[in-house]
Copies of this chain bind each other. A is one copy, B any other.
Amino acid sequence: MNKRYWSGRICGLVPYTPGEQPKDRQFIKLNTNENPYPPSPRVTGAVAAAAGADLRRYPDPEGAPLLAALSRACGLPQDHIFAGNGSDEVLSFAFQAFFDAGSTIVFPDITYSFYPVYANLFGIRCRRVPLNPDFTLPVEAFCGGNDGVVIANPNAPTGMAVGLDALRAILEANPHAVVIVDEAYVDFGAQSALPLVGAYPNLLVVQTMSKSRALAGLRVGFAFGQPELIAALRCVKDSINSYTLDRLAIAGAVAALEDGDYFDLRRRQVMDTRERAAERLRELGFTVLPSQANFLFASHPAVPARDLFAGLRAAGILVRYFAQPRIDSFLRITVGTDGEMDALCRALESLLGQRS
């Protein structure tokens, strides 16, 4: 590809690679951490009601009805909340809002692979702290001397979470740096840092509706923090796109948030299935990390993960494999329905049997 007209800032970029979205063939899709259940049935009605003549009007620039619903749900005032087009957009705004070009931010060597992509685009330096050999977070290594900290909690693709004490230690040791806690998967069993927002002006908590709310297709994410941080995110948004949430996304997100019973039912189902599937994978000889997310990270001592990935794909099951140091013996497997996880385990059993 000729790049005569590309700016210097993008010529050397390696963009993020999302998981495969197959178009041609029906797969059991356990590769992008989508929810196996549909969103709240209230979403459909709310979206249909919003899809009329009012679409000719711009949406509210801050997504006000959504901020109001979030405020009711979490108890924080609206000036503590930012809503955007998926948590990826919110994170990209946060990197621009809080991290200077040439400064150095820190995150684990094994984590969400979008963080270094944002950093590269905005000229921010990255210091990657190795996770401990058991993939736990070396908390003390994040304490002090950073221009910014990014922690996914639970972490991806390990699924492992830290408690609030660890986050408090990191927040207190970095009083002049913003600490982003990316809680994309928090609703599947980890502790949210939301109760810390009032105490720490340097804390930004980022969440999404893509996973636990089953709305990956609606593109809605949030950030929670003190007004100084939220105003910075709004400043970035209003310098890029005044309205990143369309009227339908706002309406659908509000309806999903208001259906708390459905939310609790579905995330409970996912967590129950996760524990049963982890147990069966262990019976098949896998090492399975303790997950508090809607996916499992599993490694088999006898068969290379790359081979299992390919074998599963041939059997019509998509999982995710990262050809990356330290984790290239692992598969990341999204928790599907019980039926989907049964099919996965049967396919793995067959693949392992062919090897023995």
Q: How far is the CA of A7 from the CA of B59 in the complex (A)?
A: 28
Q: How far is the CA of A229 from the CA of B249 in the complex (A)?
A: 29
Assess whether B243 is in contact with A16, with CB atoms less than 8 Å apart: no
Assess whether B44 is in contact with A56, with CB atoms less than 8 Å apart: no
A340 part of interface (Cβ distance < 8 Å): no
In-complex Cβ contact of A21 among B52, B60, B219, B234 (8 A):
B60
In-complex Cβ contact of A10 among B3, B235, B244 (8 A):
B235
A25 part of interface (Cβ distance < 8 Å): no
- Classify chain A: how many residues form its interface, as a range: 35 or more
Min Cβ gap A124→B in Å is 9
Given contacts A7-B98, A249-B246, contact A44 B52 (CB under 8 A): yes
Assess whether A235 is in contact with B61, with CB atoms less than 8 Å apart: no
Residues of B contacting A249 in the complex (Cβ-Cβ under 8 angstroms): 246, 248-249
Assess whether B86 is in contact with A57, with CB atoms less than 8 Å apart: no
Q: How far is the CA of A2 from the CA of B176 in the complex (A)?
A: 13
Given contacts A5-B232, A51-B47, A51-B252, contact A239 B39 (CB under 8 A): no
Most buried by B among A64, A229, A239: A239
A117 part of interface (Cβ distance < 8 Å): yes
Q: How far is the CA of A219 from the CA of B185 in the complex (A)?
A: 27
Q: How far is the CA of A54 from the CA of B201 in the complex (A)?
A: 38
List the number of copies, as a whole number. 2
A183 part of interface (Cβ distance < 8 Å): no
In-complex Cβ contact of A48 among B44, B53, B59 (8 A):
B44
Chain A residues numbered 87-113 whose CB sits less than 8 Å from any CB in chain B: 88-89, 92, 96-101
Q: How far is the CA of A3 from the CA of B229 in the complex (A)?
A: 8
Residues of B contacting A71 in the complex (Cβ-Cβ under 8 angstroms): none
- A3-31 CB contact bits vs B (8 Å, 1 = yes)? 11111111001011110010100000100
Given contacts A2-B228, A55-B217, A241-B89, contact A9 B120 (CB under 8 A): no
Assess whether B241 is in contact with A8, with CB atoms less than 8 Å apart: no
A195 part of interface (Cβ distance < 8 Å): no
A43 part of interface (Cβ distance < 8 Å): yes
Residues of B contacting A57 in the complex (Cβ-Cβ under 8 angstroms): 21, 29, 34, 216-217
Given contacts A7-B98, A58-B210, A98-B7, contact A218 B246 (CB under 8 A): yes
